[in-house]
Structures are given as C-alpha cells and as structure tokens.
Structure 1
Amino acid sequence: MTTYLRIHASQLDMAAEWLANVNSQMTSHSGYCGTSKEEILESLREDFMEGDSTSLVAELEGETIEGLIGFDYEEKLAEVWGPFHLSSDIPTIMKLWNYAWSEFPQLSEFSFFLHKDNIQQQTFMDHMQAELRGKHLYYKIQQAAKAKPQKLTLEPFSTQNSQKFVELHNTEFPGTYYDAKTILDRSQQQGHTLYFAYLENMFIGYTYFEEGTESIHLEYFALAPNYRGQGLGEELLRLALDQVTSIGNFSDVTLTVNLLNDVANPLYEKVGFQVENELWHYSLSTK
C-alpha cells in the first residue's frame, strides 16, 4: 500500500540512510544533500526539523521508502532536496511532489541543484517547466595555504556597514536565492558566518559561510568593483579561509560558482580549490 507522509523526527535515521544510498549515485545526485549518513542526518536536524515533524516528505510502500523530497525553506522560498525516487515514472514522481507541496502551500519559489548526470530529475524539471538558471562547478579545498595579511582586515559583520553590504550584494547577485536581508538575518544564527573586509577602514567586500557537519560552504564572496585587479580578492579569500577553518573542525571548505565565470574560477583554483562536481541550477516559480 502506497502512503505519503511527512517524516517524523523519530524516522530521521531511516531517511538519512536512504538518502545517503541514493545521493551517492551521480545519476540521482542532488547538490548540497551530502553523501554520508552522518552528514545528511546533521543537516536534517539543523535545517528540516519542525518540532516533532520535519519538512521532509516521503512516499512509502508498506514501510519501505520509495521517494523523498525535502524543503529547506525561508518564508516562500525553498531549496529542494530531490525529488528523489526509485522510479523514473514522471506521473509517480508528480504524485509525491503534489503531496509535498500541499503540505507547504506557502512555498512558491523553488531552487534545485542537480548533478549534470542526473537525467531523471532533469526530465522532471522539464516536465515542470522549471528554468535552467545556470551550470555550476562545485569546488572543494581541504587545506588552503595560510594567508599573510598585507592590506586588508577581516572582521565579523557590523550593523555600521550593513547598508554598504546590502548595496554590494544586491548589485553583484540580483535575484539570487539569499538576498542581503536574508543573509543578515541568517548570520545571527550559529554556524552562519558573515565577514566584512576593510581597506584602511573602508568597507570593500565580504564573505558569507554556512557550516555543515564535515565541511563549511562559501555561499557568497564579493569585492567592490573599484578594488578589483589589485590582488585584494585573493587576499580576502585567503583571510576568510583562515578564519573559518580556525574556528571549526572541518575537513574541507566547499563552494559553487558558475561554470562560465572566467574571473572567479581561476582565482578559486589559484587558492587551491579543486572541482568535485558539475551542478545544474533550476528554479521554479508557482506564482
């Protein structure tokens, strides 16, 4: 008998084990979900818990999981894990999607990050008429060379320069999944780190990281246009990597960047990042 339900907190261990098995295969891989049970379980506890329930929805056949969808959401915007399903049948996946969405009717904007070889979910995206927003490289670095501060200072964000941050972020990343206000709000939470960079006491850039269990992810990095081409971007990046790796026990730092970003990609590789995966970003609006 097929049933649909929101995963209860007591079922997280089962869900994490199932996700680890499915997401370890690149043909069904969804970015940011993780591939180890421990990492996934920690993420579920941090980002998907809602009291005794979760924002993770399952299709069960008897007591066996057949499919899962997770919503890591803020207000109306959700980053989606999945939809994962053992079947490639689109009507079957649609039933799971429709049930999951009915549980969270306030959601209207969805982002998906799918491995380039994940044809099943790409087919589902086409069926849903989702927009392919970009193709991205998923970078990882295990140990960056230590930075020697030369010109910049790096400090936790301050409300004094928050407006300059808002202007820079919204100019550099229009329409992105986290606007400046969301980052400022999230940076108040444990495991979310926003650094401001200063040159002679002048705000010129920032980095924003979010922690996982085994790694920390560089979500955003920007330098004001007037200060580019002077080596300051590399210095800012190295300083930020020093800071975040010194405050937590992380095995690596990860980031995602547009495949065609010929300015940023050489910088990341110069610092020591290496390509792990290619992820395709889709967005879906139901407004």
Structure 2
Amino acid sequence: MNIEELSAFIADVNSQPKNHTGYCGSDRKEIQKTLEEDFSDLELEDSFIVISENKQLIAALGFDVDRKKQSAEIWGPFILNSDHWTEQTSMLWNEFMKKTESKKIDTYFAFYHEENKKGIRWMESLNAKETGKHQILVSKTEVTNGEILEEISPPFYEEVIKLHNELFPETYLTGADMISNLSEEKRLLIIPDGGQSIQGYVYLEGDSVFQEGNLEFIAVEREHQKKGLGKKLVQAGLTYLYENMNVLRFLYV
C-alpha cells in the first residue's frame, strides 16, 4: 500500500465537511506521519481497506485498532464518488470484518462532522450509540500570559485518574491511559490542592513539527467549579504549548 498516495487521498476527501472524519485531520503530511508512526496495532495493509480503479484510489476505510482494548477508531469512509457511497462503504466494511474475524475487536468508535450526514446515518444503521457532541475551537493567537502550572508527578496519578473517569466515563481515553501516554509531546498539568489532592488538570498534546497542539481534556473537581479554574487551565495549557512545544495553532475539543 502506497502511504503517500493514501495520505493524499484522505487529505483531499477529508477536507470537505460533508466527508469529514474527526480523527485524522486534513493535512497530508500530518496524516502520513500518523500512518507511518502511530496508527493501529495491525499492519497498515490489514488496517485499511481500499478500492482502486485504473490504478487510482476511489475509496478507503481505515481502522486504528487497539488490540489491548479490543477496539478501533474508524477513519472514513473516504469515498470519491458520492453516488456509490453506500455500496462501496458496505464493501469496505464487510471486507474488514472478514479480514479481522480472529482479531476480537468488540468496540468501534466514529467521530463525524455534523455535515457528514452519510457517515452519521451509516453509524445509525450499525446501531451505534451516540455518546456526545463536540465543538472544536481554534486559536492562532500567541498566548503567553497563562500561569505556569505544575506537571503531574506520581503522587497525583490516583487523583487525576479518579477525576477523569468520573467526569469522562465513556471517552476514548481512560484516566490510566492518559497517564501511560505521557511523553515529550503529551503532557498533563495540574492545580494542586495541598497534599496529594488536585483542583483540576489539563491534558494536552503538541506536535512541534506541524506546530499544532490540542487541549484534549480539561477537568475541575466539582467543589472547585465556578471559580475561574477552567479559564486558568485553558490559558496555562495554551501557554505551555506555545512556549515549550513550538506550537502556533491550537485546537480545543
């Protein structure tokens, strides 16, 4: 499978709101980097099902598989000709089901733009459960006035995991997963509350190569809500991304 060709195809189709899948973005180079370095526990040939015509991609459906959780995030369907959307989506889905019969994938997640009516209807036909709606806020402002917060350390792990699982019980990332994911590009900042307790946290991801960052989760303990801590966490997260990760464009989901 040609990763460059696949990345360009996804970027082109996914740039249109009516076809947009939220997991993968629409920047060709960024999509290619993800496919090469951080996509699925299966080989790419097993994770993506494609249809070609005259040696050109016309349809693709991908699955970012987590074998430990027995789950997968759905990329697509990316269909060039909308007249064949239903037929080709069915072909792609059925082919993946046949290839992964022994993989024990129990749960599938999808994340579609509200204008992607075909994707939403397809999920409904599979009896998928809608767990929420999201707004994505974009800022290109160089925010540098946020307070410097403490990075999480082991004594606070339990409190953060407990708060995260309480406030986000059905999200794609558990509290334990969030902690285990921490790296140079994935950070968690906290507001301590004395001892080993916290008032809140912000979990962020930054990509210095593409100069883009996400504020993935922001949480405040119920007893500390309505005190301006949410704003404080947002400002601190954006400041951290700008000053420490060379990020110029921020997304808050």
The reply to whether TM is greater than 0.5 is yes
Q: How far apart are 1:50 and its partner, in Å?
A: 6.0
Work out which structure has the larger RCO, using CA pairs closer than 8 Å and 6 or more positions apart in sequence: 1
Partner of 2:180: 185
Contact 1:39 1:214 in 2 (8 A): no
Asked if 1:198 corresponds to 2:196, the answer is no
Pick aligned residue for 1:38 from 17, 29, 39:
29
Q: How far apart are 1:221 and its partner, in Å?
A: 0.7
- Alpha-carbon distance in 1 for matches of 2:130, 2:192: 36
Asked if 1:250 corresponds to 2:247, the answer is yes
- Alignment RMSD: 2.3
Pick aligned residue for 1:169 from 164, 174, 178:
164
Q: TM-score, normalised by structure 2?
A: 0.86
Give aligned-pair identity as a percent.
26
Secondary structure class of the residue paired with 1:194: strand
Alpha-carbon spacing, 1:192–1:121, altered in 2? closer, same or farther (3 Å)? same
Secondary structure class of the residue paired with 2:133: strand
Q: How far apart are 1:204 and its partner, in Å?
A: 1.5
Q: Unpaired segments of 5 or more residues in structure 2?
A: none
Q: How far apart are 1:78 and its partner, in Å?
A: 1.9
Partner of 1:220: 217
Q: Unpaired segments of 5 or more residues in structure 1?
A: 1-7, 257-287
- Alpha-carbon distance in 2 for matches of 1:51, 1:206: 33
Partner of 2:58: 66
Partner of 2:78: 84
**Which shifted more, 192-201 or 27-36?**
192-201
Asked if 1:241 corresponds to 2:232, the answer is no
Q: TM-score, normalised by structure 1?
A: 0.76
Asked if 1:12 corresponds to 2:8, the answer is no
Secondary structure class of the residue paired with 2:18: helix
Q: How far apart are 1:144 and its partner, in Å?
A: 5.0
Greater strand share, structure number:
1
- Alpha-carbon distance in 1 for matches of 2:146, 2:212: 23
Partner of 1:93: 89
